[in-house]
Structure 1
Amino acid sequence: MIKSGRKWRNWSRIVSATPRTVLYPLHIEEVVEAVKLCREQGRTLRVLGSGHSFTAIAASDDVFVSLDRMQGILHVDWEACTATVWAGTKLRMLGELLHSEGLAQENLGDIDVQSIAGAISTGTHGTGLAFGNISTQVVGLTVVTATGEVLDVTERSHPELFKALQISLGALGVIVQVTLRLQPSYKLKYESARLPLSECMERLDDLTRRHRNFEFYWFPYAEPCQLKMMNETEEPATPDKLSSYLSDLVLENVVFGALSGLCRWVPRMSASVSRLCAAAVPTGSRIEISHRVYATKRLVRFNEMEYNLPIEALQPVIREMREQMAREEYRVHFPIECRFAKGDQIWLSPAYGRDSAYIAVHMYRGMPYERFFADMERIFLRHGGRPHWGKLHSLQAAELRKAYPMWDRFKKLRAEMDPGGNFLTPYLRKLFGIEAEK
């Protein structure tokens, strides 16, 4: 637990905060009391999730509220196939709890340590053209507003507020309960394959449409890429094998961590390490309950920038990225991750109004990432890119207003919901351009 006066750091260790107060409520009433007290005293309150955002979106030197004690399933509606859960429930726990009820989320990302509220508030997503980000699975939210009012919000009861709350950056209130649209529990067959990037590009349309979930990783300065494919199956789950354990834990974490350390100390080795990793892409398959397949172990820490792009922009963007990397020879060895998502109508969703591709670039923790990320970001922006809210980016209010069609409506609603700015931090004020408007 974090105690007041102690420094908090995010997962990658580049964001820190020293909160004056840290609260761990057990009930909604305690959240209401905290919000009212902050309003009366003019203090800033931020909900602390798992720290997996790379930006300072969660950081506050005033009041932190952790919902770690508000976890679990509250109610299952079997007829509607929905479940209401506490907002602090971590995705890993949520998957197991839902499975015990014979239910599952339709899609997830590859990290499962976030809270459900944190995941939806920042636009966390998985991959698959038939699926939107996790926020599209939300059908109801219970939120504590800046006045301490407890609101139950659905698309029918509060149409505009619901669309704003689905991805709210924590700026509209404290989400305490989430109701999710679910489906019966299912198994996935995961397959990993190695393919030249040029061939992956030629087959991209077929791969994205033939597989329920498809993503690929390409390596700087190398031609082989890794394809990851997942499809529903009725086949029995494959038994845990030592070879699978060695691949997941040792090769993808321990060995890669050691190679990453080498690149940090000898940066000129980065291209060679990238080519070595590309040549060693694991191939094989396994079958398991869905939420256990989506998640991967991430023990090697890094910094990340991810942009959403119109799906038709993916291939030209990759070409420009490779050309830029060849010119500049960046010291980078982490693979570039490419995923896909269905368009939606959520106001601050990067996938608003368009079927999308996501491209994520990474740099090992402790290695300079600024020039590499900035150059890649310029390419993304030339092609209509929108940043992921939990990943590094350089955009400020004026640029975000151009990128997000519902930006002004969200800002107006935010001002109505929290006129005193009790849920705003310096980072969010800068993001919304609020200081400049005073």
Structure 2
Amino acid sequence: MTQEFRNWSGSISFTPETIAAPKNASQLLTLVKRAGQRGSTVRPVGSGHSSTPIFSTEDILISLDKMAGVVEVDAEAGWAKVLPGTGLRDLGEQLAQHGVAMENLGDVDYQSIAGAVSTGTHGSGITLGNLSSTVIGGTLVNGTGEEMCFGVDAGVPPPDVESDDLLRAVQVSLGALGVLTSLTLRVESAHNLHRLNWMTHIDWVLENYAELVRTNRSMDFYWYPRSDLAQVRTLNKPGEEPQLTPQGEPYSELKRDVTGPNYEIIPNDRMLPFEEMEYMLPFDRELAAFRRVRERVKLKHRAEVGWRVLVRTIASDHAMLSNTEAEYRQGGPSMTIALLQNNTLPFTRYFNDIEPIFWEFNGRPHWGKKHRLKSTELAALYPKWESFHAVRGELDPDGVFMNDYLRELFGEEI
């Protein structure tokens, strides 16, 4: 009997009929083609970090762990071709050997690159897009068992990739279009970042938030509900640091001051598993949505919330299902508010009570984190919702890559 699969936080478990780990695109192609012929379904999985059952299946679960590594780099042209199962930590190290780096990374680095881009994983920085926005091409195996190219790998000139519908669908695909076999990423020159972590009172952050966002390459903050303190993190290239810090303010304390390669400096250590809900909202320098969340948490949830609330920013992009897609945001940036809770503590009542505030502020949920929206609500939030499903119908006409969760999410009959 196949071993039970559990996600990183432990909140999702299932037992697939088969767990396959193809070593190359040829093996993957054969596997998908045979699954289609048998009427079976296939779901790819990266590190299992998602908090939604996006990868859940009773049929074939495909691990891409054996399809990992950097294939080719053109530092002068600013791109790198990588395999889908490459972990973000390994990717940073391997890209550095070629003198290049990702322009940004998320809060953690134990995800695979395919899983990270397929769910719209992001870091922080008002001029920095999510990881999906760096995808300019690649290859995938579609639902009929054919390997196909997209973006620059299909001959689309780099200046035109943002208008290429297939690429825009694949960039954030939830694994519903096919299984990625390679990704061509936009990269930049390898660089160091100087990271500062300050503890201060949340009132100082609220007063200075707009200036902190404007003057730092990357800035985010955690609010600690029980103490009403906040931890501010700034990331800048050495020599480009702004002067604004909470030094000298009440409760101010410098917790971390470190400089190094971006792939080492950006991620946080996350030894304890947690559950998370995160919504992307229109950027608001006044933090009105966060103020509402803070008020609600202090009123109803302070005794049970052991973890923190994380606020970040992201530039807009052009992926059809990106929750920071430009058309819906009129080209403006987004801010994100994430609720984190230790996985040993109750989270459902807390998340469900706060979530309507995100809806009120025109928020869209992170695809890999807890939320309650279904197809009707989601379709209203994505101008290219129908365009994405048209592409999906072409690439996977028989639903080889669907599972019960995606059918419910997309509003399709089971």
Give me the TM-score of the superposition, normalised by structure 1.
Answer: 0.86
Does residue 1:10 correspond to 2:17, yes or no? no
| Partner SS for 2:313 | strand
Give the Cα–Cα distance (whole angstroms) in 2 for the partners of residues 30 and 281 of structure 1: 54
Give CA deviations for 1:180-228 in whole Å, capped at 9, x if unaligned: 1111110000001122212211211110111111000111143321100
Does residue 1:404 correspond to 2:409, yes or no? no
Superposition deviation, residue 10 in structure 1? 0.2
| Partner SS for 2:27 | helix
Sequence identity percentage? 39
**Structure 2 counterpart of 1:359, which letter?**
I
Q: Within 5 Å, give how 1:102-181 maps onto structure 2.
A: 102-154=99-151, 157=156, 159-181=164-186
Query: Which residue of structure 1 aligns with residue 245 of structure 2?
Result: none
Q: Contact conserved, 2:200 with 2:253, CA < 8 A, in 1? A: no
Change (3 A) 1:406 1:313: farther
Structure with bigger helix share is 1
Q: Contact conserved, 1:187 with 1:234, CA < 8 A, in 2? A: no
Does residue 1:206 correspond to 2:211, yes or no? yes
Change (3 A) 1:403 1:314: farther
Query: Which residue of structure 1 aligns with residue 364 of structure 2?
Result: 386
Give CA deviations for 1:54-98 in whole Å, capped at 9, x if unaligned: 010111121011111111111112331211011111111000001
Does residue 1:429 correspond to 2:404, yes or no? no
Segment drifting more, 25-34 vs 327-336: 327-336
Q: Contact conserved, 1:314 with 1:357, CA < 8 A, in 2? A: no
Q: Contact conserved, 1:306 with 1:361, CA < 8 A, in 2? A: yes
Give the Cα–Cα distance (whole angstroms) in 2 for the partners of residues 224 and 307 of structure 1: 22
Give CA deviations for 1:328-382 in whole Å, capped at 9, x if unaligned: 2341021100010001111111111231001100111122111110111100000
Return the match for 1:80 from 72, 77, 85.
77
Q: Contact conserved, 2:219 with 2:312, CA < 8 A, in 1? A: yes
Give the Cα–Cα distance (whole angstroms) in 2 for the partners of residues 300 and 81 of structure 1: 36
Give CA deviations for 1:225-274 in whole Å, capped at 9, x if unaligned: 11000101279xxxxxxxxxxxxxxxxxxxxxxxxxxxxxxxxxxxxxxx
Give CA deviations for 1:368-413 in whole Å, capped at 9, x if unaligned: 1111101111000000010000000001100111122211211222
Q: Contact conserved, 2:169 with 2:321, CA < 8 A, in 1? A: yes
Q: Contact conserved, 1:226 with 1:281, CA < 8 A, in 2? A: no
Q: Contact conserved, 2:75 with 2:188, CA < 8 A, in 1? A: no
Change (3 A) 1:279 1:423: farther
Return the match for 2:311 from 331, 338, 362.
338
| Partner SS for 2:193 | strand
Segment drifting more, 121-130 vs 310-319: 310-319
Does residue 1:321 correspond to 2:326, yes or no? no
| Partner SS for 1:233 | coil
Query: Which residue of structure 1 aligns with residue 223 of structure 2?
Result: 218
Give the Cα–Cα distance (whole angstroms) in 1 for the partners of residues 386 and 321 of structure 2: 10
Gap runs ≥5 in structure 1: 236-277
**Structure 2 counterpart of 1:210, which letter?**
T
Q: Contact conserved, 1:95 with 1:291, CA < 8 A, in 2? A: yes
Runs of 4+ in 1 over 4 A off after TM superposition: 278-282
Give the Cα–Cα distance (whole angstroms) in 2 for the partners of residues 28 and 389 of structure 1: 26
Does residue 1:361 correspond to 2:358, yes or no? no
Aligned CA-pair RMSD:
1.8
Return the match for 2:40 from 43, 47, 53.
43
Query: Which residue of structure 2 aligns with residue 248 of structure 1?
Result: none
**Structure 1 counterpart of 2:289, which letter?**
V
Superposition deviation, residue 314 in structure 1? 6.5
Query: Which residue of structure 2 aligns with residue 23 of structure 1?
Result: 20
Give the Cα–Cα distance (whole angstroms) in 1 for the partners of residues 320 and 297 of structure 2: 34
Does residue 1:416 correspond to 2:383, yes or no? no
**Structure 2 counterpart of 1:414, which letter?**
R
Q: Within 5 Å, give how 1:272-287 maps onto structure 2.
A: 283-287=255-259
Does residue 1:304 correspond to 2:305, yes or no? no
Give CA deviations for 1:28-54 in whole Å, capped at 9, x if unaligned: 110100110011011110111101000
Give me the TM-score of the superposition, normalised by structure 2.
Answer: 0.91
Q: Contact conserved, 1:49 with 1:114, CA < 8 A, in 2? A: yes
Query: Which residue of structure 1 aligns with residue 243 of structure 2?
Result: none
Query: Which residue of structure 1 aligns with residue 244 of structure 2?
Result: none
**Structure 2 counterpart of 1:345, which letter?**
H
Give CA deviations for 1:309-341 in whole Å, capped at 9, x if unaligned: 001286111121122123323410211000100
| Partner SS for 1:347 | coil
Gap runs ≥5 in structure 2: 241-249
**Structure 1 counterpart of 2:52, which letter?**
T
| Partner SS for 1:64 | strand
Q: Contact conserved, 1:313 with 1:383, CA < 8 A, in 2? A: no
**Structure 1 counterpart of 2:264, which letter?**
R
Q: Contact conserved, 2:119 with 2:367, CA < 8 A, in 1? A: yes
Change (3 A) 1:98 1:413: same
Change (3 A) 1:279 1:57: farther
Query: Which residue of structure 1 aligns with residue 66 of structure 2?
Result: 69
Q: Within 5 Å, give how 1:240-259 maps onto structure 2.
A: none
Give the Cα–Cα distance (whole angstroms) in 1 for the partners of residues 239 and 22 of structure 2: 42
